A = this chain, B = another copy of it.
Amino acid sequence: MAYAAPELADLDRAARAALDAQTIELPSWAFGNSGTRFKVFTSPGTPRDPFEKIADAGQVHAHTGIAPRVSLHIPWDLVDDFGALAAHATEHGVAIGAINSNVFQDDDYKLGSLCNPSARVRRKAVDHHLRCIEVMRATGSTDLKIWLADGLNYPGQDDLRQRQDRLAEGLAEIYAGLDDGMRLILEYKFFEPAFYATDIPDWGTALLHCSALGERAKVVLDTGHHAPGTNIEFIVAQLLRVDRLGAFDFNSRFYADDDLMAGAADPFQLFRIMHELARAGALAPGSMINFMLDECHNIEDKIPGQIRSVLNVQEATAKALLVDAAALAAAQRDGDVLGANAVLMDAYNADVRGLLADWRTDRGLPADPMRAFAESGHLAKIAAERTGGTQAGWGA
């Protein structure tokens, strides 16, 4: 029959290698409480410290096999002994990934961090990043991820251009502080928490700053950080073309930076993004692009929320790898609009869940990670064990 579900054997060698090599980095903060300005709901068993967050991340990797790293957020994940934290991670089968700075939760940052009109505050913000680099050294992390909340709420509040200049200056000092082999990865965001102007609102701005810094500065693309209607896969293609795509923050959105589970809001968009990556060879083993999640599990359970997200990214990837590239190129060359679209949709419409269940079974992983985790009783276990103390959260 024509529509038999694809099997592992349907992937060519390069596609299979890409699937096998894929990893998704988990955000430590996804295991803590998060929410909206209206309410942060809690859930039993939520981690109370970075060690428990990493343990939970280990569960995601244990069930999916493709989530071997955890990003930290400083100061949320500050510990006295990062060596102990790294060892703890190893015990749970994962490693420390990118280090995220945080220069938006101190009262000093009310009017910005690296862009602040006050030289004192800018100094403080640069110093925080230099300390993050120390954490990188202590944990073996190679990516310093910078997202700034800097921006303005009112026209006239500050000088848009001077803020760019201050930003460039601060980034330059931070970049200079990196060791060889470390990267600075710079995130942009359309709006929130600033509501009139954001100092790095788009990929163009992030790229300008990265280009000014040097080769080891790359752009982070958060799939929820764009204006309504933005074609994200175009940006992916463009950043790949100029070799400046450093990392992804995957999540999904219907409205703004909703931080929903990746693939939940627009699975077709996620597939198109993965297809641009596949088409450019950026999923191949050795790619320097860090695929991370950045999500808020406001109402759903956190560990299975992460598992679901990882699986959604993997499913989109498998579909993208199934695209018949030769047929697609031929239809495109012929200007066959319907034919070219059909080649892409053929892969999207395929059901790859069986193929991926086989892939997991081959590795001794559970065929159905969601069910396996549910049946493991882990949520009940941590709910019972983690009593007392203060649950981790954003501390906003």
Chain B residues positioned under 8 Å from A260 (CB to CB): 153-154, 195-196
Q: Is the CB of A305 within 8 A of B338?
A: yes
Chain B residues positioned under 8 Å from A338 (CB to CB): 154, 300-301, 304-305, 308, 370
Query: What separation, in Å, do the CA atoms of A329 and B39 have in the docked complex?
Result: 27
Contact A4-B3, Cβ < 8 Å, known A37-B396, A237-B161: no
Q: Is the CB of A266 within 8 A of B264?
A: no
Contact A237-B160, Cβ < 8 Å, known A36-B37, A204-B202, A272-B155: yes
| Partner pick for A161 among B41, B190, B241, CB 8 A cutoff | B241
Q: Output the nearest chain B residue to A354 by Cβ-Cβ distance.
A: B3
Q: Is the CB of A110 within 8 A of B41?
A: yes
Q: Output the nearest chain B residue to A161 by Cβ-Cβ distance.
A: B237
Q: Is the CB of A254 within 8 A of B195?
A: yes
- Please tell me if A158 contacts chain B, counting CB pairs below 8 Å: yes
Q: Is the CB of A205 within 8 A of B353?
A: no
| Partner pick for A351 among B149, B298, B304, B351, CB 8 A cutoff | B351
- Please tell me if A240 contacts chain B, counting CB pairs below 8 Å: yes
| Partner pick for A5 among B276, B344, B351, CB 8 A cutoff | B351
| Partner pick for A156 among B196, B315, B341, B357, CB 8 A cutoff | B341
Contacting residues of chain A (165-200) with chain B, CB-CB under 8 angstroms: 165, 190-193, 195-198
Query: What separation, in Å, do the CA atoms of A111 and B305 have in the docked complex?
Result: 16
- Segment among A59-67, A132-140, A226-234 that sits at the interface with chain B: A226-234
> A273-312 CB contact bits vs B (8 Å, 1 = yes)?
0001001100000000000000000111100110010000
Q: Is the CB of A396 within 8 A of B268?
A: no
Q: Output the nearest chain B residue to A296 by Cβ-Cβ distance.
A: B37
Q: Is the CB of B208 within 8 A of A337?
A: no
Q: Is the CB of A234 within 8 A of B197?
A: yes
Q: Is the CB of B110 within 8 A of A195?
A: no
| Partner pick for A154 among B42, B226, B264, B349, CB 8 A cutoff | B264
